[in-house]
Amino acid sequence: MSSLSLCLLACLNAACARAQSETPSPALLVLDKEDNMLSIIDPATSKTVARIPTGEGPHEITVSDDGKLAFVSNYGARTPGNTISVIDLVAQKELRHVELGALRRPHGITFADTKVWFTAEQNRLIARYDPASNQIDWLLGIGQNGTHMLVFSKDRSQIFTSNIGSDSLTLLVRSGDSVGWTATTIGVGKGPEGADISPDGREYWAANSGDGSISIIDIAAKKVVETLNVQTGRSNRLKFSPDGKLVLVSDLGNSALLVLDRASRKEVKRLNLGRQPEGILIVPDGSRAYVAVAGENAVAVLDLKTLEVTGRIPTGQGPDGMAWVVPR
């Protein structure tokens, strides 16, 4: 074979290798918190196409509106973390390691209004990071212990935080004055953690990890209107299906996933997924859910029509936070 042919063949092989490793569209992003890695998975094949190092103990992840960047809160392990990883999903590499200074235990994180909002659990506050300036440009003290999760309303006018150590939620509502937000503290059950806003924006459901209950908050009234005893051992995450009909709760304590009917407030099904089910992600069309089963180093795939597990995706060590992305 001529040198020209060999060169062309080498170029072709290199192009094929690049194509095989490109970030798929859509892509499932999974944080392997014990490996300190972000895995990019092709949901069509269940294959991992790339693994990208993060900071220590990555727990939660959010994605920019254009699907090109991921932001990872590095919670830490024994030592409290204080960084956010900015990941280029196209080039499949960490662009920068954002040092948060005195802010410790970053956890709940979401992308909104071109910026990254996150909790700093140890500092009892939420903060905002501007990727354009690479600066923390805003802080707001919550004054509650263990400010852990953060959920935005669809119109970005409201923020809920779960305050595990104070058995409370904080509802922040945008205001027109110079303060910017008004805060209401709402007492709930023991150790609220996983939570979600109903798609119609009327209710906020908080899974209380310490007493096996769910607190249902009427958002307009800013108060708990109902408490469900769902008998979870240690609830971790709670998610509404996009149509608002189902509520999924992962139960670390009983190695289960609980499925509730929102209208009747009744249990529909309880599935044993294996040890330590944690993060939950529901795809935008509501056809299936992914549940990170940390103790099995896998993600379970749940068909939301049949409520049957249809597959398992192998992951790294300790999968937890997940995101769904369609790179543009």
Please tell me the predicted confidence (pLDDT) of residue 175: 84
Please tell me the predicted confidence (pLDDT) of residue 7: 46
**Average pLDDT, stretch 290-319?**
98
**Average pLDDT, stretch 30-50?**
97
Please tell me the predicted confidence (pLDDT) of residue 303: 98
Q: Which domains are delineated in the chain?
A: 27-325 (2.130.10.10)
Please tell me the predicted confidence (pLDDT) of residue 9: 40
Q: Is the pTM of this model over 0.85?
A: yes
CA 194 – CA 164 distance, rounded (Å): 10
**Strand residue runs (E) in 101-201:** 106-112, 115-120, 125-130, 135-141, 147-152, 158-163, 168-174, 181-187, 192-197
Amino acid letter, residue 253: G
Chain position carrying tokens 């007492």: 187
pLDDT reading at 304 higher than 90? yes
pLDDT tens-digit readout, 54-72: 999 999 999 999 999 999 9
What whole-number percentage of the chain has pLDDT above 90? 91
Please tell me the predicted confidence (pLDDT) of residue 177: 62
Per-residue confidence band for 301, with pLDDT thresholds at 50, 70 and 90: very high
Tokens representing 11 are 């170029």
CA 23 – CA 18 distance, rounded (Å): 10
pLDDT tens-digit readout, 286-299: 999 999 999 999 99
Residue 101 falls in which region: left (phi positive, over 0), alpha (psi -120 to 50) or beta: left
Please tell me the predicted confidence (pLDDT) of residue 179: 61
CA 218 – CA 161 distance, rounded (Å): 15
pLDDT reading at 256 higher than 90? yes
